Chain A
Amino acid sequence: MSDERNLDLLETKIEELKQLNAMDGMDLSGEISKLESKLEELRKALYSNLGDWERVRIARNPKRPYALDYIGAIFSEFYEIHGDRMAGDDRALLAGLAKLDGRPVVIVAQQKGRSTEENTERYFGMTRPQGYRKAMRAMRLAERFGFPVVTLIDTPGAYPGVESEEGNIGGAIAESLLTMARLRTPIVTVVIGEGGSGGALAIGLSDRLIMLENAVYSVISPEGAAAILWKEKEMTQEAAAALNLTAQHLTDLGLVDDVVPEPLGGAHKDFDATAQALKQSVVRALAELAALSRDDLVDARFARYRAVGAFRELTPTEHADDVRAESAEADTTADSADAPDA
């Protein structure tokens, strides 16, 4: 990432030159435009052929816009609600009412912190059981009043500490999935940064999955995969590539409905443009879903998840003889990932 630092440096220099240019009446515009095109060139070289690991780095970049940034830019009148009515209020998962083009929606969003203090308060964006229980509360509220739900995923994963296990974090994730599977109102999910495993999916069982171009979504972090499968930390980059965790890979697997483009270098380089593009994608998805009856909506969501998976007809081998199923249905195998495109 030292290349990125050089880019930032160059960008600062150009800004300084521009200020000089304005102050002293000197004409530096020739120099400035030369440097600007140089900057653009370097930026393209650095970012247009991003490896999967570089995407992970961008997805985790502390300059990256977080949920509250998007909420502020896309929605109006965000009215945050708090607490799971049982154990507490998780600051790593926000829930609330808001308006999208004047219409009420319910937002459920994972929020990372920027400062050390904020990160302590927000557990570095790792959701605890009370967070998922608050999410369920908010989603049921949406259902009661017929508001659509928009969930924003950005978490390294569910918080893995002792207090999480004491609060049955696994059970909370499972219950959240069940709540979403049955929810009789539209749900649109956006992965804005890191989609970290079950802790992300827990608010991601929805009717549409949107990903920002540099967001990632994975069953495990590249570091975790390297440690468990390769038993070598140094294999993190290889693990990132093997996991197929980028928006593009996941689109190729048929698992993502829309990818929202980001400016070169990531969403933070032009936040307004990214937020507006994301807004359009969300509005479009909600408009499509609004056309469905509640029954059709829930049925389509069921069909979408029922179809996910990749397997093939069992090939005969000696050892599997005694356990092979007698009555297999012919129409149930698939060689590639079935696209959940309901």
Chain B
Amino acid sequence: MSIFKDKQYLRVNVDNVSDDSLWMKCKACGELIFKRRVRENNNICPNCGEYFFLTVEERIEMLVDDDEFDNISKSIEASDPLGFVDRKPYQERVEEAQGVTGLPDAIVVGRVRIGGAPVILGVMDFRFIGGSMGSVVGEQICHGIETAIEERLPFVLVSSSGGARLQEGLLSLLQMAKTVAVRARLADAGLPFISVMTYPTSGGVQASIASLGDIIIAERGAMIGFAGRRVIQHTLAQDLPEDYQTDSFAFEHGAIDRVVKREDLREELATLLGFFVEAA
């Protein structure tokens, strides 16, 4: 067990654990590891404790009872309202991301049980254009919350996002307002919202829905913040503290309630939801 394990400002490694090869090399400890063992260990390096990325499917498997996920996502995808082309047409980026992730966009919402408690769960996937929130992600979050209101259930959102989807311009920015407006209705209905911030939760997602949980839990290794490191270094040329925008930084400054290890997250949510079951 390396000392790395206890370093609070450990970053989650985005290496893909889920491709077809049998072995992978852990970038943190250099050890050649058998992928099945990594997967069985919640995508944490069995040798040094490095966190690897979780796909939406892996995240859901890790969190929900009996691997049961009743997908209630709306059957929608990005429509490229601006006809946006940077180095590549937006439409092409979306198709590529759909190919890589097997998802229509950067989020899936479904009806699940966690520790026996029925909840509506939204899970974001960073591999889909940085988990960015455009019209589709905004709509799915709202749809999840509205389903929670209809069915009198708590809403849990696992964020993993770099922020707003730039290719949809102001329409993406306004998804911040849209999700917040719908979140207010959940509160009016007396139903809890638990926000789980994972690596990374930043920009427009952190500055809207993700920061409005009744309880906010960060997975260990989460990067949490509004403006990216690069932006700060470029615009202000400021020196940044070593733990800048890490889980412990957010915790020390009072932005989140708790930091939880990945392997403890399901139990943590189950315990927490237990307080609200009557309210729900």
Contacts and interface: CB of A to CB of B under 8 A. Distances in A.
Interface in A295-342: 301-302, 305-306, 308-315, 317, 319-320, 322-329, 332-337
Contacts of B181: 181, 205, 301-302, 305-306
Contacts of B183: 178
Given A165-B226, A171-B255, A198-B176, A337 B171 contact: yes
Contacts of B250: 168
A322 B104 CA distance: 10
A310 B79 contact: yes
B232 interface: yes
Interface string A132-174: 0000000000000000000000000110111011111111011
B225 A165 contact: yes
A161 B56 CA distance: 32
A329 B226 CA distance: 34
Nearest to B183: A178
B253 A181 contact: no
Interface stretch (B36-44, B81-89, B259-267): B81-89
B238 interface: yes
A231 B88 CA distance: 12
Nearest to A315: B77
B81 A160 contact: no
Nearest to B79: A312
A162 B168 contact: no
B170 interface: yes
A73 interface: no
B166 A225 contact: yes
Contact of A220 (B71, B99, B166): B166
B226 A320 contact: no
Nearest to B71: A325
A66 interface: no
B26 interface: no
B190 to A, nearest CB: 15
B180 A174 contact: yes
Nearest to B185: A302
B163 to A, nearest CB: 8
Given A225-B166, A243-B169, A320-B103, A201 B76 contact: no
B108 interface: yes
Interface range on chain A (Cβ under 8 Å from partner): 35 or more
B135 A201 contact: no
Contact of B98 (A235, A320, A329): A320
Given A309-B175, A320-B103, A167 B253 contact: yes
A188 interface: no
A160 B236 CA distance: 8
Nearest to B232: A160
Nearest to B204: A198
Contacts of B185: 302
Given A198-B173, A253-B170, A255-B170, A319 B102 contact: yes
B72 A325 contact: yes
Q: Which of B103, B136, B180, B211 has the most CB of A within 10 A?
A: B180
A310 B135 contact: yes
Q: Which 4 A-B pairs have the closest CB atoms?
A: A328-B75, A160-B227, A309-B135, A310-B81
Given A198-B207, A201-B177, A219-B166, 7 more contacts: A157-B227, A158-B226, A161-B232, A170-B211, A244-B169, A305-B174, A320-B104
Interface of B: 56, 71-79, 81-82, 84-87, 95, 98-99, 102-104, 108, 135-136, 138-139, 142-143, 164, 166-178, 180-185, 202-204, 206-212, 224-227, 231-232, 235-236, 238, 240-241, 244-245, 249-250, 253-255
26 contacts: A161-B236, A162-B244, A165-B227, A168-B254, A170-B207, A170-B211, A173-B207, A174-B176, A174-B207, A177-B208, A239-B86, A244-B169, A253-B170, A301-B181, A305-B174, A309-B135, A309-B136, A310-B81, A311-B79, A319-B98, A320-B98, A325-B71, A325-B74, A325-B75, A332-B143, A333-B76
